[in-house]
Structure 1
Amino acid sequence: MTNIGAERFLPAEVSLSALREAARGCEGCELFRNATQTVFGEGDPSARYLLVGEQPGDQEDRTGAPFVGPAGRMLDRGLGEAGIERGAVYVTNAVKHFKFVLRGKRRIHQKPTAAEIDACRPWLDAEMRLVDPAVTIVLGATAARALLGPSFRVTRQRGVPVPRREGAFYVATIHPSAILRAPEPEDAYAGFLADLRTAAALGSATG
């Protein structure tokens, strides 16, 4: 099977609840075969801030909710210190199934391919249209590729507002999991927090 894309699995009724239910049956790429379940976005449907990560991790795949593992806890810390209430945001991923390889009993994360990102794009596009946030916080290179294109480089363009439409912006930063892997995690966190504070100020200014 090739990556046929998610478009044919989208529901006729376009609402977040209908999308979430339809996404359970998505077979738009091969990742559905090994993942436990689809992990769709969740949060405030009228959120001012929408956060997009890469894909579910091991704990997200098991629970069915985004950003509940170690990276999610790091994200919670950053949002809290930046003054963005986690309960008032919408969080999702560019890819909705966990991609991994088995090493013994452990499931080790693998980065999605460009084809897998593109196949899953219709779900993210639909979420973006429905939530229509003032600020979209782009977490890491995979989300940046999905939303800002393959030429965008988080390392060079992080923390800089990029217009999405009139009155709405993207702000890219590193994925919180990168902080956990960094040789100097507090330095990495400081940069992450600075980017989140930029997004918070932008959201307040566009309010």
Structure 2
Amino acid sequence: MSRSARIAAFTPNSTSILTKSNRKRKAQEEQVIVPTKQLNFDGLFRRQNWPFRNSLINYITKSPSNAKAWQKLIQSCKYFYAENPILVIENLRWEEEKEWLVSLNNDERPVDFSNISPKLWITNEFNVTLASPENISSIVPKIYKCDANFFRLLHDVISYEDFSFLSSNLEDIVLHNCIVKKDNASNVPLENLFAVLPKIKTIFL
């Protein structure tokens, strides 16, 4: 073998050097952790390839009947909330002459009903003190369903229709210095209130 051939045999090929260098740089880049974007609960969604008929999925989405099951559905797939924006909360209360507060898992926060689109599903308590009748009636359309078992109304006026809507699951009620009125502005007798309280156990007047 000639001297030049022997030198060439022991000299790394320039193409080989570049290839190794590229591999090393690529490996280093792959080791860099790129922060992922925070998922947006209200963002885009991809519909799942359901193993059920669309009619069944539509029924489940549009007619939820159990708050606990609905909470699991919207946590597991964004599709359900996007198609039917309902938020499950435990408590809704009015802080005296200030603001509405919602709570879930002991986390209580203020809510501005004029700036939210989803409806609320109350599972535990509806508590109102010194709210105007207009204030109460304005938020009832924002409630999808009221499964609250406790209801307290202090120094307020509420319509019979709103009272009936909120009372289907109530077991304990506190009414102090309150008036329940019909559309014709007449006061509703106490016995008529009991007629829309199928699960009532305790009522404090």
| Greater radius of gyration (CA) | 2
**Normalised TM-score (structure 2):** 0.26
* Higher relative helix content: 1
* Higher relative strand content: 2
Larger RCO, structure (CA 8 Å, separation 6 or more)? 1
